[in-house]
Amino acid sequence: MCDGRVEVGQADELIAHLSGRDATGPACEEGDAVAALVDVCLLASPVAVGLVLVALDVLGGPVGAVVAGHDEQGVAQCTAANDQGVAGSRCARAVLPALFRLQLTESFIWAFKLIASPTSLEKDMLWQLVGTSKTTPLQLLMKNLRKPYAFDDLILIADRIASTRGVAALRMIIQKELRNSSGRNMRELDRMRKKYGG
């Protein structure tokens, strides 16, 4: 865990930002978890925060636990780590959700490229945030078609592939995806192959 202080908001005799589903009662009531503090009621953390691995303690600050509302700090730390040549897959993976929430597309793409083997959730974030953007590197999208429904992603970039790399390149991708497809995905990929002259 990290040492240091963190500013914690105060509640003013109300229930706010609960950490669980059940309300225990108004803040500052006798029996609260904050009874040891005189006339100060602390708000719950906006999100659950886990342990920070020592290996992720870059530049003296954690990049593993990014708390909502302070996403910029984790992103800045990972960017600083990159500037010093020490940012890697774990650092990028730690800040990717924050970059997604903040909709920082260029930084998101930078971090995504650092991840050696993206999870399905990370690929979902990629396609949701930048899948239809003409500025997203085409190779990045082609490399991260989501399984088992690659057609749903490929249809978004098929015309871009055909216009920049040629119809033959698109047909090769379709053929590759057809080998491991079934059901609706197979039918749609086959239709796409025929549409592009295959």
Residue 38 lies in a domain: yes
Could you give the number of structural domains in the chain?
A: 1
Give domain status of residue 19, yes or no: yes
171 in any annotated domain: no
Report if residue 22 sits inside a domain.
yes
> Is 21 within the bounds of a domain?
yes
Q: What is the pLDDT along the chain (198 residues), one digit of tens a residue?
A: 445 565 655 555 445 445 555 555 555 554 544 444 444 445 554 544 443 333 344 444 444 444 334 555 556 666 655 555 555 788 888 889 999 999 999 989 999 999 989 999 999 999 999 999 999 999 999 999 999 999 999 999 999 999 999 999 999 999 999 998 999 999 999 999 999 986
Closest to 131 in 3D by CA, of 108, 102, 165:
108
Is 33 a domain residue? yes
Instruction: State the pTM of this model.
Output: 0.59
Contact 12, 27 (CB under 8 A): yes
Helix (H) / strand (E) containing 158: helix 150-165
Q: Which residue range is the domain that position 10 belongs to?
A: 1-44
